[in-house]
Chain A
Amino acid sequence: MPGMNSGLNVSDPAVVAAFKAALVHQGLIALLIIGLLGLAWITIRAGLPAAAAAGAPTAPEATAATVAEPAWRRLLRIGFGLIWVFDGILQAQPKMAIGLPSQVIEPTAASSPGWVQHLVNIGGTTWSYHPMQAGASAVWIQVGIGIWLIVAVRGPLSRLAGLVSVGWGLVVWVFGESFGGIFAPGLTWLFGAPGAVLIYAVAGALIALPERAWRSRWLGRLMTAGPGTFLIGMAVLQAWPGRGFWQGISHGQPGTLAGMTNTMAQTPQPGFLAAWINAFTTFDEAHGFAVNLFVVAALAVTGAAFLSGRPRLIRPVLIGFTVLCLADWVLIEDLGFLGGLGTDPNSMIPMVLLAAAGYLAVARAPAEAAEPASSPAAAASWRDRLRIAAAPRTLASASIGSVASVGAIGVIILGAAPMAAAQASPVADTILAQAIDGSSTSLDSPAPPFSLTDQHGRDITLASLHGKVVLLTFLDPVCTTDCPLEAQEFRQAGQLLGADSRRVELVAIVANPVDYQLGYTQAFDRQEGLDGVPNWLYLTGNPAQLAQVWHGYGIAAEIAPAGSMIAHSEVAYVIDSRGRLRQEMDFDPGPGTAATQSSFAAELTDAARQLLGRP
């Protein structure tokens, strides 16, 4: 998929170091936010001991406590809160910044239809252009949501946490899980359908329900009927012939399930786990029909029990379903996060939590209660609470849960803000270019003069370019690999400079002692779409003139034998408006992906803007 893969090594030390540094910096800011909030809360409470008693509005969760939070909600809130925190921690793996698009998103989307891949590519491209910001953002957003869910017990803040969980969950489900693979062939509950994060979103939606819904009996019915219907649907899908689940071995190859577990067993993981999965694979290969029959029956029975809505029926089935989910989690999903770059524990733990919550919702349905009596505190409007004068009293009266929730929101904003800023920028981060070639070298010496011919046949000297910043490189017009990429980096830099490009000259000098004629510079310009770029100059001369310029700039351009292209230095220089060399950049374009090209263009643009006195 275009744009998805930055092409860099997932363990690239420059990016990994920058990612870690970003995490540490943002972590310190997160701690600072939480610490300051806590300090403010303690200080104000100490300064205004009677604030609450004096009629300050109390926290909503304290005023509306006429019905205790139901057990199902507590289970979902804390359970999914912990999972979000765990997912956030997984996002902090050093390889995640570079690896998530290429090793998680792209393979997941590979079997989905084109429109899904196209959509997913948008998210993956954003990530690969801004790996550090995106990687760190995912960490803090998920940790923040998790903490928020855990600490916000009830009230608007708690419901909002549920909604945020839904929103972020859907983002991850669409862009990270390619809709959980529901549009791809081979969809099965065993492998994680309909996607773990969709279950997070469902749980978030339940948490976000208003308190009056807690007292509704239909909610319990809904919470069992929903999973029941889903599981029966999955049973039908599992039983559908022709999908390879009924065969342990098919045409000499492992069946669908055995093939999957066989692959899972190959991933790096503790030996005992690999041994269990291998044993299960062998068993499934030998008894594929029986295994699938058992799964179909288990899903159908569980679904039917949940559809009945009868707690006595659901309880034993839930126990069996939990065992089945745990077995699947270990033997088929491989715990979800082992091997490769795991981003979550997959679907089985969320599935068990959701099923258990459904059971609790019907088994421990709360008694109908009268509407809570309005209190003076409740009568205080939000407008009153938000008045600046009332803020200290509001803060003093807030519960520790509310303060912690605000801290968690701060952590989410801390993560989301850089991601939003990165999303707004179409240019890749310069860290990618620096990861490939290192940082540029500062210079301050006169640029070697030259007198050459441009692609239109005009004589051009370095002196004639004084007054403009010159971005200079050396390109072979018949190069088949790097030079076209480097030309595109220059072209992009010209576009990024916008109006400033009138004060910048994009200059390349031929780096080929054989194919140096005007016909070649012109053909190269047409090939790269540079023939219409007004500030683009592709200079050439006779071999002696070129050799002199190459020598001045320390460029090697050697004829290589046996059908190879010219071997030449890949360097870019930044020359200021007075004709002085100011920066030297190694200019090997690396993998030449859209992300790295954009990153080099950004690096050139930054260098030019610096000399133009632009921020």
Chain B
Amino acid sequence: MNRPGRRLAAAAVLLPAVTLAAGCAGAPATSAPATQAAPPSPSLNTSLDTAAGTWAAVAMGGSAAQDNNFWQLFIRPAGSTRWKLVTPPGTADNGGLVLASGGQALVTGFRPSQDLTYSPLIQTSDGGQAWSSLNPLDAPLASAPDALAVKPGSGEMLALLDGGPAEEAAPGSTTWTTLASQQALAGTPAGRGCGLQSLTAAAFTPSGIPVLAGTCTRPGIAGIFAAGNGTWQAAGPAIPAALIRQDITVSRLIRTAQGMTALLQAGTGPGASLLAAWSADGGHWTLSPPLPLHDGALTSASFGPGATAAIITSSNRGQITTGAGSAWLPLPPLPPGTATLAPGPGGAADALAARGGTLTVWRHLPGGTAWVKIQVINVPIPYGSSS
């Protein structure tokens, strides 16, 4: 037998042996699933509730050309039923706005667009009347509505950047430092247990502990991690048995006045479903019943007072929950162009519909069966100013 022939024969013997040996070496308790594409993050069209009122970020202007998409910030001040335009000045916001509640204050991050490659930050403490710049991030904020978080009272901030690293800025600090990279977090025991694929959200627990969340490739694990003891601890809710075989993505995670609220998407495709999760302390969670998404994707998710949440799916359906442990309730067919919802107490909600430079606000009252137009705001979109 010549040498190549010998090699072939050796390979023929060794290959099954190696295969058998590998099989005997002990497969992981849970077989590693094939990596699936994580569901896309919901858009930056969103609303959140603060002590100053309810804020909403909505993309307006020309949707055809990115350069003519201008993001607008609106506030419905506490105690008022009317919305007003309070878009922060001084920076082109074609790349999108990321909102973070800091108690009375609201911090807004600008996702960079065109030739800008870093993210300016700005904050207001008086309902958007006056704005002051904060030290910018040296890299783009991630395109996720929870890419920015503020620790109420202290001003400490967390930011999730494009590509996964999370940075933190100490109170009053002018510099940002790396808190964790996605790879580093994935390498911790908690990260390995989740099979962390990507980071999707940053938040603070009610007690002020930094929390990061993402997509797990190990089924049935909700990837929420709290910083502690120099490492990251798994802090997500236990997933119901019915969804234990599904990959879980934390689509949203925010701190509210009542604690923390998360939206978890289980699986993708026709079998995907959505869970809302509430925690008063960041450790113990209450889950909503799963909401089948019927092949739809989450396009917008918003949070309101009393731990309420509302979502819009790609099939243009709206759903709302009224607080911890409550079920999802369908909303009447959404008005055309609805970009995001602003949930209120008891199942009430405002729908903010954008068309060009016009924002139309529709209101749904608890028990109602239709949306009522309550306000129209004309925004002077600066078409062409960013091209």
Within 8 A of B (CB), among A508-532: 512-520, 523, 526-527
- Chain B residue numbers with a CB within 8 Å of A559 are 89-90
Q: A551-591: which have CB < 8 Å to B?
A: 559-567
Contact A514 B122 (CB under 8 A): yes
Interface string of B111-135 (1 = CB under 8 A from A): 0111111101010000000010101
User: Smallest distance from the beta carbon of B219 to chain A beta carbons, Å?
Assistant: 41
User: How extensive is the interface on chain A, given as a class?
Assistant: 20 to 34
* Contact indicator A484/B91 (Cβ below 8 Å): no
Q: Is B92 an interface residue (CB 8 A)?
A: yes
Instruction: Please list the residues of chain B having a beta carbon within 8 angstroms of any beta carbon in chain A.
Output: 60, 70-72, 85, 87, 89-94, 110, 112-118, 120, 122, 131, 133, 135-136, 138, 174, 379-382, 385-387
Q: Is the CB of B117 within 8 A of A565?
A: no
Smallest CB–CB gap between B65 and chain A, Å? 13
Q: Nearest chain A CB to B57's CB is how many angstroms away?
A: 10
A9 at the B interface (CB under 8 A): no
Residues from chain B with a CB closer than 8 A to the CB of A514 are 89-91, 122, 131, 133
CB contact under 8 A between A517 and B91, given known A561-B380, A561-B382: no
Residue A485 at the B interface, CB < 8 A?
Answer: yes
A480 at the interface (CB under 8 A from B): yes
> When chains A and B are docked, how far (Å) is the Cα of A484 from the Cα of B93?
16
Q: Is A481 an interface residue (CB 8 A)?
A: yes
Contact B120 A520 (CB under 8 A): yes
Q: Is the CB of B117 within 8 A of A563?
A: no
CA A520 – CA B135 in complex, angstroms? 7
Output the least CB separation between B177 and chain A (Å). Answer: 14
| Among B90, B92, B112, contact of A513 (Cβ-Cβ < 8 Å) | B90
Q: Which residues of A contact B (CB under 8 A)?
A: 478-481, 484-485, 512-520, 523, 526-527, 559-567
Q: Are A485 and B385 in contact (CB under 8 A)?
A: no
Whole-angstrom CA separation of A561 from B382 in the bound complex? 7
- The docked-state distance in angstroms from the alpha carbon of A515 to that of B112 is 14
The CA of A161 and the CA of B219, in the complex, are separated in Å by 76
Q: Contacts A481-B114, A514-B133, A523-B138 known; A562 to B90 CB distance under 8 Å?
A: no
- Give Cα distance in the complex from A513 to B114, angstroms: 21
Of the candidates A478, A513, A518, A526, the one whose C-beta lies within 8 Å of that of B116 is: A478
Partner of B92, one of A516, A523, A563: A563
- Residue pairs across A and B with Cβ atoms less than 8 A apart, 8 shown, are A480-B115, A481-B114, A513-B90, A514-B131, A517-B133, A519-B136, A563-B93, A564-B70
Which listed residue (B72, B92, B131, B381) contacts A478, Cβ 8 A? B92
Question: CA A566 – CA B385 in complex, angstroms?
Answer: 10
Q: A478-B120, A562-B70, A562-B87 are in contact. List 4 more A-B contacts (CB 8 A).
A: A478-B92, A480-B116, A562-B379, A565-B386
A564 CA to B113 CA in the complex, in Å? Answer: 12
- Which residues from B are CB-within-8-Å of A520? 120, 133, 136
What CA separation (Å) do A485 and B94 show in the bound complex? 18
CB-defined contacts of A562 to chain B, threshold 8 Å: 60, 70, 72, 85, 87, 379-382
Q: Which residues of the other chain, B, contact A527 by a CB distance below 8 angstroms? A: 116-118
In the assembled complex, the CB of B305 is this many whole angstroms from the nearest CB of chain A, namely 27
**How many angstroms between the C-alpha atoms of A479 and B93 in the bound complex?**
10
**Which single member of B72, B116, B380, B387 contacts A479 (CB below 8 Å)?**
B116
The answer to whether B118 touches A523 (Cβ under 8 A) is yes
Instruction: Tell me the bound Cα distance from A518 to B387 in angstroms.
Output: 27
Q: Which residue of B lies closest to A476 (CB)?
A: B90
Kindly state the separation between the CA atoms of A516 and B113 in the bound complex, as whole angstroms: 19
- CB closest residue in chain B, given A481: B114
Residue contact B115 to A485, C-beta cutoff 8 Å: yes
Whether A481 lies near B91 (C-beta < 8 A) is: no
Q: Which residue of chain B is the closest to A561 with respect to CB atoms?
A: B380
